[in-house]
Structure 1
Amino acid sequence: MPYELKKVFASLPQMERGVSKIIGGDPKGNNFLYTNGKSVVIRNIDNPAIADIYTEHPHSVLVAKYAPSGFYIASGDVSGKIRIWDTTQKDHLLKYEYQPFSGKIKDIAWTEDSKRIAVVGEGREKFGAVFLWDSGSSVGEITGHSKIINSVDIKQTRPYRLVTSSDDNCSAFFEGPPFKFKFTMSVSDHGRFVNCVRFSPDGNRFATAGADGQIFLYDGKTGEKIVALGGAKAHDGGVYALSWSPDSSHLISASGDKTVKLWDVAGNVAVTTFHLGTDVLDQQLGCLWQKEHLLSISLSGYINYLDRNNPNRPLRTLKGHSKAIHCLTVHKNEGRSYIYSGSNDGYINILSQSWMTGTNDGFSGKGHSNLVSKIAVDGDDQLVSCGMDDTIRFTSLTKKEYSASDLVKVDVQPKCIAVGPRGYSLAVCIGQLILLKDKKKCFTLDSLGFEPEAGALHPGGGTAAVGGADGKVYLYSIQGNTLKAEGKTLEVPGPVTDMAFSNDGAFLAVADEKKVITVFSVADGYTGKNEFYGHHAKVICLAWSPDNEHFASGGMDMLVYLWTVNNADKRIKIPDAHRLHHISGLAWLDEHTLVTTSHDASIKQWTIKF
């Protein structure tokens, strides 16, 4: 193969305030899984940089759970569809698909023999169903609730029991199979929504957690209440998730009070309280106890590996993107490559070349407050970024800290930023061009007579190229602190979407909405060198290889093409590079390594052989 997918840096879970997030655990103890948009993300728990992404759901997925056998995963989406798919093969073949009810599926539980599945959620006429995994035949009815069911669990030892918890402040107890409603737990137990219910692995007990901050323990076989964990209140905020230890002696609880507590069940005492921060985004909405690992998920989407020896600082925190990625660039520093990516929540992620250890981070301090449109690294080792918050930022890559002073506010929204030598940057804004030098605005050009869409600065300095919505490229000379129109325009087939000079300045590549990439030869007075066809939809982004002989293009068609400048017919096609969304960013780590991003919030690294 001329290309190979080498690494996937997966998205974080997609979070919603006040809504619990389920982390599924692999029964073998190797992996954990969660959902983001239409994706189910499977990550290795010891080395979370090893990831796999399942993308076959047509709608947003809310929950995914392993079968106790470990051979299958069941995942449920907002439309009420549940898909059961294979975990042993790389292409994750679909085994069965069902629609037990119409509406959000919020939780899934399997029986220990991997034969029956219970699903609950937000149906129109019913809020849950239990059925055989291989036929869809009903094995009971889930009744007894008047509102959305948030959580379900099944006792993993015989005789089977099933418990549900709901927005009607109640939990319901079922015996089976076929599962039949037996009774509702006392209405006086929880005063607010019951967010989570979980049986202990040995089946002797189950626990319920509520928005009232309380956790109750019940007998697993009879459903009789045993005790309120921690007395009157287990947490100062709502409790969103519970997970038992493998030996059933302890459990952890995740709360909106920004803590996770480790409980000794027999002693009815919290033996450890993990403090995860003070910000709203530090609320804890999910947790998992997997072998010796204790995981929790913050509202930010960050995944915390809790440290029982130091409850105030996690062993590690997995950071990254949980929202759509819009831009990408790479930079080498002291022989090591770094990947920078910006998303629509204003977050910029730093991923080092050693990402197979899962090491990544963000900049400290207050950065962009809205979508990051474009990023580039200038000659002073600064990340230059522009965003929909109408700012252009210059951030030191060595300090990794946003600076309140190295910030330029602009009057109109910037679409694109380009960097050049000698401290120059060009911001392409709505109806306006801004030339910056040494982190300050030095010249503004209004009344352009066209709508600028993209820009590029020649690496040798002196020339700025600006692509317009009118299908033309306008050339300007940089003279001191001014931009001067050269009176020369280049024609391309459609409105310009992206453009880039080759690293040696010999060529200018221009992508447009008419699915064409046009390459101009700079030394020959910007004469047309070649036109490149292949995309089925609008081309979004371009990136030149360090060898200056090849470049990559990504489009709305989810395709990535790798082109050879001197031969338009010689190309490598990567279909469905990101299966769910268009390609939003491209960058080369070296002549044979390409990095791609998309609105699926993941980053992929490809090995290319020409």
Structure 2
Amino acid sequence: RPYMILTSHHHVFASLPQMERGVAKVLGGDPKGNNFLYTNGKSVIIRNIDNPAIADIYTEHAHQVTVAKYAPSGFYIASGDVSGKIRIWDTTQKEHLLKYEYQPFGGRIKDIAWTEDSKRIAVVGEGREKFGAVFLWDTGSSVGEIAGHFKVINSVDIKQTRPYRLITGSDDSCGAFFEGPPFKFKFTLPDHSGFVNCVRFSPDGTRFATASADYQIVIYDGKTGEKVSTLGGEKAHDGGVYAISWSPDSSRLISASGDKTVKLWDVGAGTAVTTFNMGADVADQQLGCLWQKDYFLSVSLSGFINYLDKNNPDRPIRVIKGHSKSIQSLTVHKNEGRTYIYSGSHDGHINILSYSLTFPVHYWDAETGDNDDFLGKGHSNQVSKMVVDDTNQLVTCSMDDTLRYTDLNKKEYSASDLVKMDFQPKSVSVAPGGLTLAVCIGQVVLLKDKKKVFTLEGLDYEPAAGAIHPGGSTAAVGGADGKVHLYSIQGNTLKKDSTTMEAKGPVTDMAYSNDGAYLAVTDEKKVVTVFSVADGYSVKNDFYGHHAKIMTVAWSPDNEHFASSGMDNMVYVWTVSDADTRIKLPDTHRLHHVSGLAWIDEHTLVTTSLDATVKQWTVKF
């Protein structure tokens, strides 16, 4: 069948870093000072430091990526994954062409360092046969040996001035000092009593620092490796120190700690100039930091990226929020000239992305893309579906067996607007007059004004998806039996209609067009069937094109077009009256299928995926 391939402009709202409790997160900085980078899943995310709404994503690793670092030239990035693969790729082209790929050892890579001429790379981690390697970037041939540790090496750095020196830090509570090239082990640095999480040379090479789970930061002479001092006397922090980053002039450094603070140190005096208090929650532990140009960045266990303000240490200049876990659901809402994208992830987190649309309508102003989240305690498990009702409430259903109604003007979860369900809800839809239809495993529940008023149980089919007609008179429920069952809403009850329609296979999702004229039904047999409501739900058209089970469907505001996404990682935009014309959005989210679809206007489609990113596409007919 003919279709048009859409090479559309799209905008990426990047994921946050993937975080793990008690594990340091390495942030990379580009030598020109414009970008910073981190990893999430199989992706490397590059963000503009002045405007983090500008982002680029590299998705070529086959395994979870753990660390990425710019070459000092700025032209290449080396990224390493859990299998021990290192990929060196181009930063200047949009395609990020692969230059070289190596496997220095088998196992998780934890840190990477380059020599200042961008010719040699050191890699450390959890190798089975060794914990580190140093090699030439263009041939992979060895330029020394990383020895001297008997446990995982967490961190490595190379002095950026000659004569070269290399340092490592390990779970064996020691650092190690090497001379080269070729790099040879000289001696152990035995000054810590806990895991050494991070080791870093000052940019001028005169000093290096080691940071440890023993709350200490030790300063050494960069050329000889002799101990010079410890920061803060007995201890630098009241918790393990996970990361350190030097100032460009080599006189100061910042440190990130499990005590939920970041400190700014005057290295010569050995004292903390500023302490940034990041909060009281476990999620506020600080696991990574980067000093880039005039910016101090830190990363919380929550994945939030903090831009610290030394003039106001208890209040960051900005906090980049978003998702660090896979996104499962999505809806869009417009309010007073602003557009809000609500997305829910598999850890129960709901993110609010807001911006104002400028003229022309489908031009997106990246400057205003702000992320936020609701106050208070929300869902404790995956948010499966979400929709906004006519009273500006966000209605969400979750695997924690609840429905929540959240007032979008207040942006705060409310304990009283929580409805506990008997079974896990899979889908939720709303209609004017306070109506909500929740399709749960084994039952269908009608709610009115946030209260359950009617439950269908003991059904002879397994309900899978549901939709209320915008007029509020009919509820359609799609089943694993491949049928669509209609119920009329009479007062507070659901009455079974004699009409049932046939889909081509077990139903996966369904939606009425905004004007109520059509019902689109997707199924496991890769077909979208559109029924015409006024014609007694006769079939208007069948839409073929997906190569795998279809997951979700969303109607354009024009009621003439709708989008579908499938397990084939494809998104198609269809025209109701012409089943042969379809627009294909290629490579929407390269690594995973699209989990959520929503329209902002008739030319702007938003997609979400398990890669924790939100993307916006311009669709032209």
* TM-score, length of structure 2 as denominator length: 0.97
Equivalent of residue 401 in structure 1, options 402, 409, 412: 412
The residue number in structure 2 matching 1:319 is 321
Map 1:288-307 onto structure 2 (within 5 A): 288-307=290-309
Map 1:3-18 onto structure 2 (within 5 A): 3-18=7-22
Maintained 8 Å contact 2:6/2:586: no
Amino acid at match of 2:448: K
The residue number in structure 1 matching 2:359 is none
The residue number in structure 2 matching 1:221 is 223
Counterpart Cα distance in 2 of 1:421 and 1:143: 69
**Within the alignment, does 1:477 sit opposite 2:488 as a pair?**
yes
Amino acid at match of 2:63: H
**Within the alignment, does 1:333 sit opposite 2:335 as a pair?**
yes
Counterpart Cα distance in 2 of 1:498 and 1:6: 25
Q: Unaligned regions of 5+ residues in structure 2, if any?
A: 357-365
**Within the alignment, does 1:160 sit opposite 2:171 as a pair?**
no
Counterpart Cα distance in 2 of 1:467 and 1:3: 34
Equivalent of residue 591 in structure 1, options 560, 578, 602: 602
- Runs of 4+ in structure 1 deviating by more than 6 angstroms, as ranges, are none
Report the count of equivalent residues. 608
Counterpart Cα distance in 2 of 1:357 and 1:88: 26
Map 1:350-369 onto structure 2 (within 5 A): 350-354=352-356, 356-369=367-380
The residue number in structure 2 matching 1:427 is 438
Write out per-residue CA displacement over residues 151-191 of structure 1, whole angstroms, 9 at most, x where no aligned residue: 000000000000000000000000000000001012xx111
Amino acid at match of 1:446: E
Maintained 8 Å contact 1:5/1:604: no
Counterpart Cα distance in 2 of 1:376 and 1:270: 48
Counterpart Cα distance in 1 of 2:135 and 2:413: 53
**Within the alignment, does 1:543 sit opposite 2:563 as a pair?**
no
Maintained 8 Å contact 1:85/1:93: yes
Write out per-residue CA displacement over residues 472-521 of structure 1, whole angstroms, 9 at most, x where no aligned residue: 11000000101111121110111111000000000000000111000000
The residue number in structure 1 matching 2:111 is 107
Map 1:97-496 onto structure 2 (within 5 A): 97-186=101-190, 189-354=191-356, 356-496=367-507
Write out per-residue CA displacement over residues 257-280 of structure 1, whole angstroms, 9 at most, x where no aligned residue: 000000000111000000000000
Counterpart Cα distance in 1 of 2:290 and 2:212: 17
Counterpart Cα distance in 2 of 1:356 and 1:416: 34
Write out per-residue CA displacement over residues 75-101 of structure 1, whole angstroms, 9 at most, x where no aligned residue: 000000000000000010000000000
Maintained 8 Å contact 1:3/1:607: no
Amino acid at match of 2:85: K
Q: 1:359: how far off?
A: 1.0
The residue number in structure 2 matching 1:32 is 36
* TM-score, length of structure 1 as denominator length: 0.99
**Within the alignment, does 1:531 sit opposite 2:542 as a pair?**
yes
Write out per-residue CA displacement over residues 508-542 of structure 1, whole angstroms, 9 at most, x where no aligned residue: 00000111000000000000011111111111010
Percent of aligned positions that are identical: 78
Q: 1:450: how far off?
A: 0.6
Q: 1:360: how far off?
A: 1.1
Q: 1:28: how far off?
A: 0.5
Maintained 8 Å contact 1:48/1:357: no
Counterpart Cα distance in 2 of 1:31 and 1:476: 55
Counterpart Cα distance in 1 of 2:50 and 2:485: 52
Counterpart Cα distance in 2 of 1:238 and 1:190: 12
Counterpart Cα distance in 2 of 1:481 and 1:582: 38
Counterpart Cα distance in 1 of 2:367 and 2:60: 26
What is the root-mean-square deviation in Å for CA atoms of aligned residues?
Answer: 0.7
Q: 1:356: how far off?
A: 3.4
Describe the SS at the equivalent of 2:150.
coil
Counterpart Cα distance in 1 of 2:369 and 2:250: 30
Amino acid at match of 1:126: K
Q: 1:6: how far off?
A: 2.4
Q: Unaligned regions of 5+ residues in structure 1, if any?
A: none
Maintained 8 Å contact 1:47/1:357: no
Amino acid at match of 1:313: R
Amino acid at match of 1:219: D
Describe the SS at the equivalent of 1:109.
strand
Instruction: Return closer, same or farther for 1:92/1:318 CA change in 2, 3 Å cut-off.
Output: same
Counterpart Cα distance in 1 of 2:482 and 2:10: 37
Amino acid at match of 1:603: V
Write out per-residue CA displacement over residues 457-478 of structure 1, whole angstroms, 9 at most, x where no aligned residue: 1011100001001111100000
Counterpart Cα distance in 1 of 2:469 and 2:532: 12
**Within the alignment, does 1:573 sit opposite 2:584 as a pair?**
yes
Counterpart Cα distance in 1 of 2:6 and 2:62: 30
Describe the SS at the equivalent of 1:433.
strand
Q: 1:3: how far off?
A: 4.4
Amino acid at match of 2:416: S
Describe the SS at the equivalent of 1:394.
strand
**Within the alignment, does 1:609 sit opposite 2:587 as a pair?**
no
Describe the SS at the equivalent of 2:236.
coil
